[in-house]
Amino acid sequence: MRKSIQTVIILTGALVFLGGCADMSARQQSALSGGAIGAAGGAVIGNQFGNPVTGAIIGGAVGAGTGLLINRHNGAED
């Protein structure tokens, strides 16, 4: 029962979070998606070294910066 409640809370939070992305510029969306992908990857790598939270923070920051740079390099407009 507890696991199903946690799942519902996580899914609801994800839907609310994704609904807020509708009015974002292409640059903001690139930074957000890069940050999310980086945080997930950083958490996985950090878990191997015993600290997934630090890995997620570092990965998120690097991913957001990478998303911004890729967006700028591709010439997408705000």
What pLDDT does residue 62 have? 92
AA letter at 16: V
State both tokens at 67: 């998303």
Q: Which residue do the tokens 């939270």 mark?
A: 53
Q: Compute the distance between CA of residue 29 and CA of residue 43 in angstroms, rounded to an integer.
A: 21
Q: Compute the distance between CA of residue 55 and CA of residue 71 in angstroms, rounded to an integer.
A: 24
Beta-carbon neighbour count of residue 31 at 10 Å?
Answer: 21
Q: Compute the distance between CA of residue 32 and CA of residue 49 in angstroms, rounded to an integer.
A: 25
The per-residue pLDDT string of the chain (78 residues; one tens digit each, 9 = 90 and over) reads 677 777 887 777 777 776 666 778 888 888 888 888 888 888 888 888 888 888 888 998 999 999 888 877 776 555
What pLDDT does residue 1 have? 64
AA letter at 10: I
State both tokens at 77: 């407009």
What pLDDT does residue 27 have? 84
